[in-house]
Structure 1
Amino acid sequence: MKAQCLWHETSPEPCLELPALEGRQSADVIVVGAGITGLSTALHLAEAGTSVALIEAGEIPSGGSGRNVGLVNAGLWIPPDDICKALGERDGERANAILSEAPSEVFALIERHGIECQATRTGTLHLAHNAKGEQELSRRVEQFQQRGAPVELLEEEACWRKVGTRQIRRALLDRRAGTLNPAAYTRGMARAAVAAGASLFTQSPALGIAREGDAWRVTTPQGSVVASQVVLATNAYSEEDWNQVRRHFFPGCFFQVASAPLPDALAGDILPERQGAWDTRLVLSSMRRDAEGRLILGSLGRGEGRPAAYLRCWADRIQRHYFPQLGKVDWECHWTGKIAFTPDHTLRLFEPAPGILAATGYNGRGITTGTVVGKGFARYLTQDDDSQLPLPIRSSKPIPAKPLWSSVYEGGFTLYHAGQCLRVLI
């Protein structure tokens, strides 16, 4: 089982050959980070006629934007009423409304720019793994339907036909959602941004940012760029001391394991409409099939550095529980990406300093949230209008005891997975 990201290897969109930043450059806006948020910002700024320079420490994609599950989900991680409790009624319903339409924004962008990312629009499935999970899904369905969302609770036979396992009796089908290859989506957005006139630079890590008159200068190993506005779109990969974003989330990981391609004669009844799915466990399991029929399982926690036998044992345990009809599965590869978590499971949009915008805390909803936030940032920077953002831009307090949050989460994930491997938990 190889340690490599499946999405990078199977992306229909090629990796762009882009230069490193050299010498002294200038632009109207600097974007730091070429993930989905940064690329959406750069693309929409360029389409509005604003000069933008985007710098990325590695290639595109390097971080979580190309390593996630590829679910095009609506909303945030927590249900709508909980969002209102966390953010207040006004801001909560604003976030609910804008992020409800986020999958449509993603699919419209894919169509407009001809991005080849193996997108499906058959929805996603939230699977109740026990009676408590069934109650949670009923609560979510009621809240979504009160807001007019096209969701339904599938039960018994209807559920089994969609999922392909009788271990799940109920599932929430969200017809707004879908799936894609996240690396291909990110590369396609980069291609569109370049075509629109944005300047993209790779292998150009930002070493620091400093005030220069009325503008900001961002320095890289071989050059620098100056602009009046800066967008920090580094999210879960904000690690440098100068980057204030790192104080406003705590990092977690999500690992995935992919099988070799499975023929339809063997696996055709498993997620036959290619919905992406995840269950209601506290430490969830995700599952989907890619365009070539692979079964892809994932869960919260770090896969990097784990023995292959450990990951294989975990994947076997989940597969045999949900899909025993497959028999012994040949697991082909595994990879890990980072997630920016916040204690209340809601995002942060803020200004670390005048002229600098930042976003973080997507809590595992990066494809849709990042796309919408990037579009909203572009409108805010060009028209001083934040109405397209899920939340108004406001001050954000650093997360206290951040290392403790990360340690507790990762430790809990590891113990849970060990219990699954030892057949104590499922």
Structure 2
Amino acid sequence: MTVRIPISLWDASAKEQDYHSPLDGDATVDVAIVGGGFTGLSSALHCAEKGMSAQVVEAAQIGFGGSGRNCGLVNAALWLPPQEVREELGRVYGPRFIKKFGSGPEYVFSLIEKHQIQCEVTRTGTIHAAHAASGFRDLKGRHEEWVRLGEPVDLLNRQEVSDMIGTDAFHGGLLDHRAGTINPMGYCRGLARAALAAGARISTGVRATKLRKDGNLWKLETSKGTLNAKAVVLGTNAYTDDLWPDLKRVFTTIHYFQLATKPLGSEADHILPGKQGLWDTGQIMFNIRRDAFNRLLVGSMGKVVGGVNGGLSHRWARKQIARIFPSLGPMEFEEAWHGQIAMTPDHLPRIYELDKNLFTPIGYNGRGITTGTMFGQTIADLLTGMDRADLPLPMTELKTVPSAPIMSRLYQTAFTANQILKSI
């Protein structure tokens, strides 16, 4: 019997059961969905709840891509400040998108509650921490706009953020009360369970190999059979391959890595005592959180270089923890992993209708939990008659980013250099 190696800490620690099932030959469905992550499973759940027959095909396992490798911060809106979102999307779509995605965490939490998903959920907010005085000035501008919009976001001075995090390493922060944390793989598997209960079908270990039109139907050829479908959803985001021409060229792929310590016991109780997740304002972003078992997780942009017990990323993680929480002493680590993020030039996601009844939400820019979940709901609405004018952002034509492969390599070089620099 082959022993499967966990892809992340979340894969190993999630209480929700994994789900494995092959595709049992050819089938005809209302909607065929490629990808068993947040987007695909949310699409399947919402489509099934609206009475459609939905079939998910996943090449590996549930949550194998970014969904199971995520940091687990359930943040509202985007990395961009709301002012920039409004400027990019205009007076109609800008305010609508900000409002819709500001409520993203609440919708995720409502699904967790409704379906009793076991995913170590906390609802105490997240902290956007200022890595320097310049970062705090940026946070002030964000805070002013969130207050103007009536959102529950607090500006924290240096002492207040120090008390909340357990370190004086940061210059202040924003506490977003809308947000929280989860075990992302637990949430993903919970969505799968809910989708199955609603009547959707999910097949794992099934790779989609070809997609073509046949009259009014789509034919999705896979490694285990062919699906005939009225509509198709590609829910692959940063793990998009060559199934549809040029789709994987509409974003730049970057990597994000995490290391998790072994459970620390009571010695870590002073660190983020409210269990908020933290991300900083640095150009190369850094995050900290503590899970339900008192493991400390730290991460940043780039790949794991080396392994959990040694190598560059291991040295980097030990150095960062020693810098921020010097009282802890040397750390032993339990898991190390990285995943992929699809970054768009304007840092906004997209919904493309690639052909009639062929949709893909894509380009989540590191906000997969809320974006994937809400776009899954949107796809179900579109397939049941939603007016495109009511979308949270306009549909646009597919536009490739010619520099994406080069930029991806340049980013990775810079991220590795950052690990080297901060490991000295």
Q: Give TM-score, length-normalised by structure 1.
A: 0.95
Change (3 A) 1:31 1:334: same
| 1:336-362 C-alpha deviation (Å, 9 max, x unpaired) | 111011111111111111220011111
Gaps of 5+ in 1: none
Match of 1:141 in 2: 143
Q: Unaligned regions of 5+ residues in structure 2, if any?
A: none
| 1: CA distance, partners of 2:6 / 2:301 | 17
Partners of 1:339 and 1:300 in 2: CA distance:
10
1:255 is aligned, of 244, 254, 257, to 257
Quote the RMSD (CA, aligned, Å): 1.6
What's the CA shift for 1:384? 2.8
Indicate the SS of the match to 1:120: coil
Q: Does the 8 A contact of 1:377 with 1:386 survive in 2?
A: no
Deviation of 1:244 after TM superposition, in Å, equals 4.2
Structure 1 stretch 30-39 or stretch 244-253: which is displaced more? Answer: 244-253
Establish whether residue 374 from structure 1 lines up as the match of residue 376 from structure 2. Answer: yes
Mapped partners of 1:324, 1:399: distance in 2: 43
Q: Distance in 2 between matches of 1:132 and 1:229?
A: 48
Secondary structure at the counterpart of residue 207 of structure 1: strand
Distance 1:8 1:387 in 2: 39
The alpha carbon displacement at 1:83 in A equals 1.1
Indicate the residue corresponding to 2:10 in structure 1: 7
- Bigger mean CA deviation after superposition, 153-162 or 6-15: 153-162
Q: Is the 8 A contact 1:375 1:388 kept in 2?
A: no
- Code of the residue aligned with 1:116 in structure 2: it is Q
Aligned 8 A contact 2:126 2:175 in 1: yes
Query: Partner residue of 1:85?
Result: 87
Aligned partner of 1:278 in structure 2 is: 279
Query: Would the alpha carbon gap of residues 86 and 234 (structure 1) be closer, same or farther in structure 2, given more than 3 Å must change?
Result: same
2:188 aligned residue:
186
| Of 26, 33, 44, the match for 1:42 | 44
Aligned partner of 2:318 in structure 1 is 316
- How many Å apart are 1:60 and its aligned residue? 0.6
Partner residue of 1:394 out of 386, 393, 396: 396
- Report deviation, 1:89: 2.9
Give the Cα–Cα distance (whole angstroms) in 2 for the partners of residues 386 and 108 of structure 1. Answer: 25
Q: After superposition, give the CA deviation of every residue in 1:290-336 in whole Å (9 maximum; x if it has no partner).
A: 00000000000011666832111100111111111111111221011
Partner-residue secondary structure (3-state), 2:140: helix
Does the 8 Å CA contact 2:307/2:336 hold for their aligned counterparts?
no
- Identity, % of aligned positions: 42
| Farther-moved stretch of structure 1 (24-33 vs 155-164) | 155-164
SS of equivalent residue, structure 1 residue 254: strand
What residue identity is the alignment partner of 1:224? Answer: T
Q: 2:305 touches 2:311 (CA, 8 Å); kept in 1?
A: no
Alpha-carbon displacement from aligned partner over 1:207-248 (angstroms, at most 9, x marks no partner): 010111111000111201011111111100012253543121
**2 CA distance for matches of 1:295 and 1:171?**
20
**Structure 2 counterpart of 1:218, which letter?**
L
Kindly indicate whether the alpha-carbon contact (under 8 Å) linking 1:379 and 1:386 is maintained by their aligned counterparts in 2.
no
Task: State the 1:87 CA deviation.
Answer: 2.3
**Equivalent position of 1:172 in the other structure:** 174
What displacement does 1:279 show?
Answer: 1.1
Offset from partner CA, 1:353-373 (integer Å, 9 cap, x none): 122001111100000011111
Deviations 1:24-76 (A, max 9, x none): 10101111111101110110000111111111111111111011100000001
Q: Could you say which residue in structure 1 is the equivalent of 2:297?
A: 296
* Aligned-pair CA distance for 1:410: 1.2
Cα distance in structure 2, aligned partners of 1:58 and 1:7: 16
Change in 2 beyond 3 A, CA 1:387/1:289 = farther
Match of 1:31 in 2: 33
Secondary structure of the 1:218 match is: strand
Is contact 1:124–1:275 with CA below 8 Å preserved after alignment? yes
TM-score between both structures, scaled by the size of structure 2? 0.96
Correspondent of 1:364 among 355, 366, 369:
366
In 2, distance between residues paired with 1:222 and 1:96?
Answer: 41
Task: Specify which of 393, 415, 418 is matched with residue 416 of structure 1.
Answer: 418
Q: CA deviation at 1:147?
A: 1.1
Instruction: Give the SS at the match of 1:225.
Output: strand
How many angstroms apart in 1 are the aligned matches of 2:390 and 2:262?
41
